[in-house]
Structure 1
Amino acid sequence: MPVVRAPRAEPCWVELLSGDLDGANEFYSRLFGWQYAAHDGAEGYQLAMLDGEPVAGLVANDPELKAPDAWTTYLNVADIHSAMFATKLHGGQRYLKPVDMPGQGTVALIGDPAGAGVGLWQAFAAASYPVDRSHGHRVWNELHTKHFDIAARFYREALGWDLNPVSDSDEFRYYTLGQGSDAAAGLYDISGQDSTEGWRSYFAVDDADRAAALAEEMGGCVITAPHDSFFGRTAMLADRGGAQFAVIAPAKS
């Protein structure tokens, strides 16, 4: 059932910045079954659709900006201007000042003190967050960081996160926003690992092995091979432009 509650800076939307929108359309359409629709009033912006509902955004990457192709996670906030002030107060970075999207809400981009970027979103109206774990839907977001203590403090103090440890050992440090069935995002310590920092989006698939093979066949790459986890079989992938994301075949409850 849809959940309607006060914003708590949890993931609410994801967007792909792509230097090849046509290629990205084909890649994700074959991988997730997405269809596409133009976004009213936003040139170069497309909505990825499943069953008539938007599941993600795709925006053209301006080559003059020299920004890498990437997925961006957006967090819902109750007051975006207060969140921007708190970001600066607690050592974060402000990449894009708040911009109103007519009839929808206000958007901004920030970074934690280590520089990992994330979007902020304040909707003009209360929003519901339906849970859909079927193929092609976003099911989880987490921040991979090599500055775990700094990131944890930032999200607690600047965005009010209620962080709960899943594991806090030297071998595996992982906290969640909320806990149990109420968990909404993850914070993962990747210190000592040869991997890239930043937010990762997880999309549900029927078969993680098949999805990884298909992504590679289409010119993407497999960063972490499919493997079993407590939550299901998962893999870390990248599309043709190098934007990293994860797939997971959710464990049967």
Structure 2
Amino acid sequence: QLYASKDAERRPQMRERAAVTLGKLGDTRVRNYLLGCFERYQCDLRDIREFASQDKDPRTAGRLLLSWARGRSVLTGLLGDLKPAGGVAVANSAFDEAMAHRAYGNAQRSTLLIADLGDKSSKQRLDTVKGHKQTWIRLYTGVARLRLGESVAVSELMRDYDNLPVDWLDSALNLFATIKEDSARKALQPELEKRSKAPDLEPAMAAAAILLSWDPEQGFFRMLDGLSSKSTEERELAYFYLATDDSKKLTFVMRRALSREQRPFTRDQLRVILDNRG
């Protein structure tokens, strides 16, 4: 009633809040309003994600796919879940266009969607850029190929990982964290575990952070060791990665660890991280 009221018509912010609330409840009456609000850049993805995730009308996914093609990269993950009709063709064509124009940022986002959609027929076009001069193109397409079932991509990925400048490690973490498939994670896990114990701390802790993003339960132990290390650098890196990974599961794991931790300094560090999460 509030969404359709005359009062809401006079007060756009009130109507928007009402529409977002109804959308989260799955009310299809607000479909056009929410999609239009997002398309006009008046609503954020968080305002429409819940509605879009449960709406069965193919027009919703279709309009979001069109927005993605127009540059709304924030939709990549959601579209990977929705798997809209025509999504594979659009993602493949977007990748081809981006590579033709050397628009490497667009090529990277297209590669993410290709991997999320999971159509193995896309591997052939990704194979055409093996050995590309741009490191990030090799990394993005290598991750996508691995996610699409090409296990040989592991050695190529780790070779590039080992040669990354320190300043690029956080971006590499964000890329590797997109890997959802158990088979792809299993293929990479031994290599990342080996690197997480290496003496060169920056890439070692970044590798540990990738494992943490996949499985907070298991990955936390390496971070806890780092947080308790005699090395100041290792402690700071462990603190940084624990503080920046804001997943709810990791929060639960840290709270449980705090209740059991006996080392005063480590307890204090865990408490500070958790307090900062609010």
Q: TM-score normalized by structure 1?
A: 0.26
Whose relative contact order is higher, 1 or 2, with alpha carbons under 8 Å and at least 6 apart?
A: 1
TM-score by length of 2: 0.25
Higher helix share: 2
Which is higher, the Rg of structure 1 or of structure 2? 2
Q: Give the number of the structure whose residues are more often strand, by fraction.
A: 1
